[in-house]
Amino acid sequence: MISIKKTLLIVSVALFSFNSNAQVARNGEWCGADQHNEALLENNPALQEQHRLFEEYVQEYTRTHSGQNEKKGGTNDKTPNFIIPVVFHVLTFNGQGYVSKQDIDDAILRLNEDFRRLNSDTSQTRNTTNAPFAPVAVDAKVEFRLAHKDPNGNCTEGIVRVESSLSVDAGDAVKNVSRWDTKKYFNIWTVVNIGGAPSGGGIIAGYAQFPQSGINNTFGVVVDHNFVGRNDRTLSHEIGHCFGLLHTFQGGCSNNGTGGGDAIADTPPVSTSTFGCPTTQNSCNNIPTGDFYGTNVLDQIENYMSYNSCQNMFSAGQKVRMDATLNSTSTSTGLRQLSVASNLTFT
């Protein structure tokens, strides 16, 4: 397993992503998960019922588990609740799209820092009267490691390299070029670039498939190769989607933590996606009935599920929602099989 370094390098999380390949602006609507989900629902209306049943399950799980998440096992317990075996499929074409082993190792380190709240910028999570967010920022207790056995039981670095023209303007067809069993491995496809133009300009940095759309052959994350590495959080955001999280601005100011918006109580309503790091922004002035904070607070721009450049936290409520997905044994929408001991031995 990849070990998590206790001494962290100081990283600058800015509007630009840097790795050994390129310097590319991450701006506009850079996440394509919602577009991907809408296309799946349009092509398969029967998924609406699967989405509804998934949300019913998550809401019931949240009702019975809220308040016992980050405290479970003691505040000093650093044992992960879930270990996720990962395979990177690096798809290149005509010399474009290369991702080094170092970039991939760095990406795994970044994920483990962010999901375990070992990131060096935790001190940037605000804890003020109108932004009381540090107390709800938690260790999600999820760890990632590169697979060490392939589906045939052979030793592997957890990296597959393939040459394919489908890596250019990539979509879901790229997943048919190289894929390992999505019930046993978490698949990440890196590509030259992703097809489609986001609103607001820029490029799509990555997109995820939500679990409620099915843990099937297309489940996982597609990411532009420019956004893989130590100083980028695109994968933290997209994998949040794969574990059941929605954008913090989902549904605009309708978010009430019980089914509206992102369905998370401790992520305040946000009217729309924003960029940069607007520390005084309060885009929703309404205080929903039974609001978690009980007062009108600023937007939680620190959250990984925002589009902001000062991302540094998952919330306790988000952890419960991820726990619900990662504990689910549903054959269609659950991810429990990824982290069971027998699978970790196999992969």
- Which sequence positions are flagged as catalytic? 238
Dihedral angle sign, alpha carbons of residues 320, 247, 261, 312: positive
Q: Is the dihedral of CA 166, 167, 173, 177 positive or negative?
A: positive
Q: Is 278 exposed, middle or buried (0-12, 13-18, 19+ CB in 10 A)?
A: middle
